[in-house]
Structure 1
Amino acid sequence: MVVSQEELPAVADAAHAVVREAKDAGVWVFGGGIDESVPPVMVDGDGTVTEGTYPQTRRIEGGYTVLELPSHEAAREWAAKIAAACRCAQEVRAFQYDPAS
């Protein structure tokens, strides 16, 4: 969903309120929008740089929010709050932690 210019201030206020709530709850790790003015590049293991991105990610809108939560259910609950604030569906993914790092 594309948010109109008129709706943008209300969406920003609602999103910032969810961020404050996540920080107050102690679950906030990181969040930010994608800077669409900087084109994506792919960097290979030998340092070769190619303009563009993976085909399946050509169209990513918005940004990312990283929360540290106790369960997938909690992640879905927070995603619902973010979706309501941003007025668009949210994809939920889990990080696979590397115990060696």
Structure 2
Amino acid sequence: MTKFLISFPSGAMTFPAEELHAVSEASHAVIREAKEAGVYVFGGGIDEDVDPVLVGGDGTVTPGTYPQTGQLKGGFCVLELPSRDAAMEWAAKIATSCRCAQEVREFMYDPES
């Protein structure tokens, strides 16, 4: 089985404020479905109130992130699935519940993970 990162930037979620409860309920339902299916690894939202830092090999901490990275904000989940097609199906469910498109990335195989 392959692990897939399914994610979206926080700015992609655009809907009226009064629909927040419905969107939250719908997205939590999809995550519960993934857990029940045994494909959920982990997920969550990036805490945008906490600034990122870079930690060097010598332990030096520098505020910010890699310049080419820009901003990493929003939500994500990692699912372990049998195929890329299955990842696309789950991404579609998440996109529907969150009301925004999802980016799908595949983790390289690593026998240690």
What TM-score does the superposition give when structure 1 sets the normalisation length?
0.88
Count residues with an aligned counterpart: 101
The yes-or-no answer on 1:12 pairing with 2:11 is: no
User: Could you say which residue in structure 1 is the equivalent of 2:39?
Assistant: 27
- 1:1-101 pair list within 5 angstroms: 1=12, 2-100=14-112
Higher RCO (CA-CA < 8 Å; seq separation 6+) = 2
In terms of fraction of residues, the more strand-rich structure is 2
Tell me the SS of whatever aligns to 2:81: coil
What TM-score does the superposition give when structure 2 sets the normalisation length?
0.80
CA displacement at 1:52 relative to structure 2: 0.9
Q: Distance in 1 between matches of 2:19 and 2:73?
A: 16
Tell me the SS of whatever aligns to 2:17: coil
CA displacement at 1:50 relative to structure 2: 1.0
**Runs of 4+, deviation exceeding 3 Å:** none
Letter in 2 for 1:10: A
CA displacement at 1:19 relative to structure 2: 0.6
Bigger Cα displacement from structure 2, 29-38 vs 55-64:
55-64
Tell me the SS of whatever aligns to 2:105: coil
User: Structure 1, unaligned stretches of length 5 or more?
Assistant: none
Letter in 2 for 1:46: D
Tell me the SS of whatever aligns to 1:59: coil
CA displacement at 1:97 relative to structure 2: 2.9
Tell me the SS of whatever aligns to 1:7: helix
Tell me the SS of whatever aligns to 2:62: strand
